[in-house]
Amino acid sequence: MLAMNYRGPLRVRIDNKPMPEILHPQDAIVKVTRSCICGSDLHLYNGLVPDTRVGMTFGHEFIGEVVEVGPDVKKLKVGDNVIVPFNIACGKCAFCKQGLFGNCHESNSQATAVGGIFGYSHTAGGYDGGQAEYARVPYADVGPTVIPEGMDPDDAVLLTDVVPTGYQAAEMGGIQPGDTVVIFGAGPIGIMAARCSWLFGAGRVIVIDHVEYRLEFVKNYANCEAYNFRSMDDPVVFIKKTTDWMGADVCIDAVGADAAGNTMQTITGRKTMMQAGSATALHWAINGVKKGGIVSIVGVYGPTDNLVPIGNVVNKGITIRANQASVKRLLPKLIEHVKNGVIDPKALITHRFPLQEISDAYHIFSDELDNCIKPVLIP
């Protein structure tokens, strides 16, 4: 089958790889019909995630048709069209039982922090992902969810990650009616977090990035304010000024390890890798939130150390909430929101590529060319 093949930082190509096989009685094989590239894939692509091995197939956002099931699979049937959550979860461990499907204790033997994630390095379990014609899906009765009748596949594929992650970013912010929410990052996740912040009763939603076309997009899509940090002396002072010097009630980091905007962070976090990615957006979030406020982090960082102003967290009494999104927990509610038109995910899709053109797709998305917001691969 054709599959994306990682060859080292900034080098991905399409190759022939062996068909995935059922390795465990609870596995299914899914024929991929849509697969996205995510900002999370860019951390892998840029070589920032430890133990990303040459030969791996990325891709944690995919939908497809079930073509084979293992003997212990009871609910899923051959022929079902499914949304496959990006987290691989057993459904039975203490963490899955609490709804922490991103922190499953069984699906990732390599680490005790994050659970398994499709196509996301051996730090997240070493599972090949869905930027391929076929993918092996473990615990097939747990995560995969049948696509509701009539749902557009472009909406369905964004329910694997973007919609739940944006929603959970807002949810973890503990937004109270009337709150001012500041979101760093106008990529798909920040855009969805902005849209979802209103659902929790935000009074004001502000998005900060430095890519003009994305700021323009989010302003219209999420009906919010959008500002370019390159036109500010200091984003923290900007936030203070615009909130009567109080600070934002809630700040959301939807940027993560590849953040721009601070030379020292960029050199130590992205160029020399003396820390696990640049923590620039997280700095701004911690320093821009009010005393007693909440910082919600969905931006991804490496598992080792980062330079963050922890003293300010203590002195300001900030609550930090963070996680990989728990897709399965949120799916029932978010499927309803999509059906009822409360959220319109497919509007984010700007580009479609045949799987064969994967290296162009990574290049265009990574370099923010051609007004790209969210690219979809069609195997």
Ligand X SMILES: NC(=O)c1ccc[n+]([C@@H]2O[C@H](COP(=O)([O-])OP(=O)(O)OC[C@H]3O[C@@H](n4cnc5c(N)ncnc54)[C@H](O)[C@@H]3O)[C@@H](O)[C@H]2O)c1
Nearest-CA neighbor of 37 among 374, 327, 301?
374
Stretch that binds Zn ion, among 74-82, 87-95, 197-205, 253-261 (CB under 5 A): 87-95
Residue 167's binding partner among Zn ion, ligand X, none (Cβ under 5 to 8 angstroms by kind) is none
Looking only at the bridges linking them, the beta strands covering 289-297 and 319-322 are: parallel
If one asks whether residue 188 binds ligand X (CB under 6 A), the answer comes out as yes
Distances (CA, A) of 30 to 27, 57, 106, 160, 329: 10, 15, 21, 14, 22
Q: Is residue 255 close enough to count as binding Zn ion by CB under 5 A?
A: no
* Segment 302 to 361, residues that bind ligand X, using CB under 6 A: 324-325
How many residues appear in the chain? 379
Which window, 53-61, 131-139, 144-152, 217-225, contacts Zn ion (CB under 5 A)?
53-61
Nearest to residue 306, comparing CAs of 283, 281, 275, 284? Answer: 275
Site for ligand X in 234-263 (CB under 6 A): 254-256, 259-261
Binding-site string for Zn ion from residue 260 to residue 299, where x marks contact by CB under 5 A and - marks none: ----------------------------------------
96 binds, among Zn ion, ligand X, none (CB under 5 to 8 A by kind): Zn ion
224 binds ligand X (CB under 6 A): no
- Nearest distance from residue 58's CB to Zn ion, in Å? 10
**CA nearest neighbour of 285 among 266, 303, 259:** 259
For residue 255, the partner it binds in ligand X, Zn ion, none, with Cβ less than 5 to 8 A by kind, is: ligand X
Tally Cβ neighbours within 10 Å of residue 368: 16
C-alpha to C-alpha distance for 78 and 350, rounded to whole angstroms: 31
Q: Which window, 27-35, 38-46, 67-75, 306-314, contacts ligand X (CB under 6 A)?
A: 38-46
Q: Which residues pair with 8 in a beta bridge?
A: 11
Task: Name which of Zn ion, ligand X, none residue 286 binds, using a CB cut-off of 5 to 8 Å depending on partner kind.
Answer: none
Quote the CA–CA distance of 56 and 61 in Å, as a whole number: 15
93 contacts which partner out of ligand X, Zn ion, none, CB within 5 to 8 A by kind?
Zn ion
Does 184 contact ligand X by CB under 6 A? yes
Q: Does 116 bind ligand X (CB under 6 A)?
A: no
| Of 211, 224, 349, 355, the one binding ligand X by CB under 6 A | 211
Q: Interacting stretch for ligand X, rule CB under 6 A, among 185-193, 241-249, 303-311, 335-343?
A: 185-193
Which two structure tokens, joined as six digits, stand for 260? 């721009």
With CB cut-offs between 5 and 8 Å by kind, which of Zn ion, ligand X, none does residue 180 bind?
none
Q: Which residues contact 271 (CB under 8 A, 6 or more apart)?
A: none
Binding positions for Zn ion, 101-140, rule CB under 5 A: 104, 106
Q: Is 287 in the site for ligand X (CB under 6 A)?
A: no
What are the residues whose beta carbons fall under 8 Å from the beta carbon of 340, sequence distance 6 or more? Answer: none
Can you list the alpha helix ranges (DSSP code H) found in the chain?
39-45, 94-97, 153-158, 162-172, 188-199, 212-221, 235-242, 263-266, 280-288, 310-316, 327-339, 358-366
CA 334 to chain centre: 16
Binding positions for Zn ion, 150-169, rule CB under 5 A: 161
Sites of contact with ligand X (CB under 6 A) = 38-40, 42-43, 161, 165, 184-190, 208-211, 214, 229, 254-256, 259-261, 280-281, 298-300, 324-325
Sites of contact with Zn ion (CB under 5 A) = 38, 40, 61, 89-90, 93, 96, 104, 106, 161
